[in-house]
Structure 1
């Protein structure tokens, strides 16, 4: 009987272990930096963003710290703002899950970064969580004089 209980506990512990996979698919590895594409995602989630939709360009560590506090995110990355800007994309409040916002690509021309925003929504008939969501994405981009969102 003790063996059965121990095996059950062991099974539960093993089944709870998860591995974060990076871009290159190796567990626990962050993968290759997306900065080769002029951007790198710092954080993104379907929950905890702002109720209204907007995009923001952040040019200082102080403002980034403040934004992370607003979003109740404890671990704030240190960004080299001499070489980078940060963009924050907020989709606004949605009535269900299945929504997301991210960066499709960033093109730099004539000291202007053109950030192509990618949004997704649930397909018709798709099963989604019935909870209010506020998708957002925060990423570093190569520093430019101007940022345009597309």
Structure 2
């Protein structure tokens, strides 16, 4: 099985208030979710997403009190029929300068289709 993935968009603003994830398996659902998250339409246009073999993972870090937080996919691997997705979280440096604003970090990643998904 293919263990390749490609993050196509990362933002500190506009994600869901709670930590979680979504799996998107159609172009229409993707367009609707991009509109909800205010993702530029060029991101879809430039991604060449093949929904026959791939899906989209949108991983949300949840609401944070300052800037400096982020989430991204670090690695993926198959265990039988389940795709295990390991995320990487970024946190601000202790005592570092951060944006004083409520943020909702998220990332959008193209991943291979699987029967089940586990996001860690």
TM-score range, shorter chain: 0.7 to 0.9
Name the TM-score, length of structure 2 as normaliser.
0.88
SS of the aligned residue for 2:111 comes to strand
Aligned residues of 2:3 and 2:78 also touching (Cα < 8 A): no
When the two structures are aligned, how many residues end up with a matched partner? 115
Give the whole-Å Cα distance in 1 for the aligned partners of 2:18 and 2:86: 19
- 1:134 equivalent in alignment to 2:100: no
RMSD between superposed Cα atoms in Å: 1.5
In the alignment, what sits opposite 1:79?
49
Name the TM-score, length of structure 1 as normaliser.
0.71
Which structure 1 residue ranges, 4+ long, deviate > 4 Å from structure 2? none
User: Which structure has the highest helix share of the two?
Assistant: 1
Give the whole-Å Cα distance in 2 for the aligned partners of 1:92 and 1:37: 26
- 1:42 equivalent in alignment to 2:4: no
Give the whole-Å Cα distance in 2 for the aligned partners of 1:70 and 1:91: 16
Structure whose alpha-carbon radius of gyration is higher: 1
Matches within 5 A, 1:1-150: 37-75=3-41, 76-77=43-44, 78-150=48-120
Give the whole-Å Cα distance in 2 for the aligned partners of 1:69 and 1:80: 20
1:79 shift after superposition: 2.0
Segments of structure 1 that go 5 or more residues without pairing to the other structure are 1-35
User: Which structure has the highest strand share of the two?
Assistant: 2
Give the whole-Å Cα distance in 1 for the aligned partners of 2:94 and 2:28: 42
